[in-house]
């Protein structure tokens, strides 16, 4: 009996030992990395389903109500009125008419009121409003309609026809001021919302994207640097706000390209950095202070480039020099060709004017000229650019 118990005891010990050895042998092979690792990953089918779901969610239109709610109270409607003389009918000056009815009394021109609509943006709770110059140009009376129902008469602080910017002021309390964005942060493809008063129907919001930046040479104003957008801009939107998805002002809606008179998806806005700088100078000085050197310029055509021996049509020809002006004092002459301003190659006349205008009066502008086939360097001390239209109070 004792022998049997001893055999069973050793058999059990052997079995346990074998199990232990097998266990540790398997564990060591696992630590050696000889088996595959199970990653936590989705299947191919699940990945395709998630990708499709993601694309579908991106196509769902997001709401910009928060941005509009924060911004729209600062966008105002502008109603202008001006008195114009109504000319007498041309029939009265017809010789046949005079033959039968005589000269009669000279008619006194009758006067009539002309009204127009536009938009503006409150940029300060102190009552300053920015809009387009063409919205209020020639107006005898300007009324500002606020979103809260108030109607307040405005006065013109100053205008800048060269950039189509004007600044107005109203005396009122509790005015909502818009938050200004940064032009440098604008990228093509960004969401853009236009807020204004198209056709006088009341405040309206339209949506699009930023189609392009830095648009110029459009013939809309002397100094051009526009944001292009396909957000619908119509008559009455001028001077209104172009905002981003966060409700920040990024531009002042100014013009459209159209064949029908309505929006065709090509609208232009003045970038907020430009508009803000102009508004600050108007508020401080009553007008915008720009550099000027007193020259008349002409773009370089292909024929002129060939006759002057130029490689391309870059640069501008000085066609005239104002006597005793800054350019005259610096020795510039008619027929000189300006190739560069402050070492920046001149593309055309507008480009040259813009670069010179950016230099404050009293500062030196470095010009690279071609004179009689030779390269000449010149320094010109700028004066203040003459004002086309004086500010009004």
Query: Is 93 known to be catalytic?
Result: no
CA 329 to chain CA centroid, Å, is: 37
Task: Please pick, among 72, 116, 119, 238, the residue that the annotation labels catalytic.
Answer: 238
Name the catalytic one among 79, 134, 248, 351: 134
**Does 238 qualify as catalytic in the annotation?**
yes
* Residues 6 or more apart whose Cβ sits within 8 Å of residue 296: 318, 319, 320, 321, 322
What are residue 74's phi and psi, to 5 degrees? -90, -5
**Please, where are the H alpha helices in the chain?**
2-31, 44-59, 65-71, 95-101, 133-136, 272-285, 302-307, 326-329, 349-357
d(CA 378, CA 365): 8
Strand-pairing partners, residue 229, are 210, 267
Q: Which of 160, 162, 164, 230 is catalytic?
A: 164
169 is catalytic: no
The phi and psi torsions of 127 (rounded to 5 degrees) equal 105, 10
Q: What Cα–Cα distance (Å) separates residue 301 from each residue in 248, 347, 360, 372?
A: 42, 12, 30, 18
- Shortest CA distance to 287 belongs to which of 169, 170, 123, 167? 167
Tell me the catalytic residues: 134, 164, 238
């Amino acid at each position: 009996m004792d022998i049997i118990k001893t055999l069973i005891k050793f058999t059990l010990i052997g079995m346990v030992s074998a199990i232990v050895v097998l266990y540790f042998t398997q564990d060591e092979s696992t630590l050696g990395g000889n088996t595959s690792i199970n990653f936590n990953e989705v299947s191919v089918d699940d990945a395709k389903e998630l990708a499709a779901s993601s694309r579908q969610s991106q196509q769902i239109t997001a709401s910009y109500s928060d941005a509009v709610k924060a911004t729209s109270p600062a966008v105002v409607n502008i109603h202008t009125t001006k008195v114009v003389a109504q000319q007498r009918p041309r029939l009265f000056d017809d010789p046949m008419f005079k033959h039968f009815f005589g000269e009669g009394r000279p008619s006194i021109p009758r006067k009539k009121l002309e009204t127009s609509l536009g938009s503006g943006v409150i940029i300060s709770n102190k009552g300053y409003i920015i809009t387009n110059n063409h919205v209020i140009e020639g107006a005898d009376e300007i009324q500002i309609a606020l979103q809260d129902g108030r109607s307040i008469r405005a006065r013109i602080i100053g205008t800048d026809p060269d950039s189509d910017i004007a600044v107005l002021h109203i005396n009122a309390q509790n005015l909502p001021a818009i938050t200004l964005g940064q032009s440098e942060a604008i990228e093509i493809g960004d969401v853009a919302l236009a807020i204004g008063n198209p056709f006088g129907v009341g405040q309206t919001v339209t949506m699009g994207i930023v189609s392009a930046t830095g648009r110029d040479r459009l013939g809309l104003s002397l100094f051009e640097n526009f944001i292009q957008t396909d957000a619908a801009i119509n008559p009455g939107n001028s001077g209104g706000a172009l905002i981003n998805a966060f409700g920040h002002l990024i531009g002042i809606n100014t013009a459209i390209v159209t064949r029908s008179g309505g929006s065709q998806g090509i609208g232009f806005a003045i970038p907020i950095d430009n508009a803000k700088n102009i508004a600050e100078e108007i508020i401080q000085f009553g007008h915008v202070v720009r550099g000027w050197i007193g020259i008349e310029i002409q773009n370089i055509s292909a024929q002129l480039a060939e006759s002057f021996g130029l490689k391309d049509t870059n640069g501008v020809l000085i066609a005239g020099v104002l006597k005793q002006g800054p350019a005259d004092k610096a020795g510039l002459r008619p027929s000189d060709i300006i190739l560069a301003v402050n070492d920046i190659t001149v593309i055309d006349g507008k480009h040259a004017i813009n670069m010179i205008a950016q230099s404050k009066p009293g500062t030196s502008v470095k010009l690279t000229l071609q004179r009689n086939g030779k390269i000449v360097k010149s320094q010109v001390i700028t004066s203040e650019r003459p004002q086309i239209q004086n500010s009004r109070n």
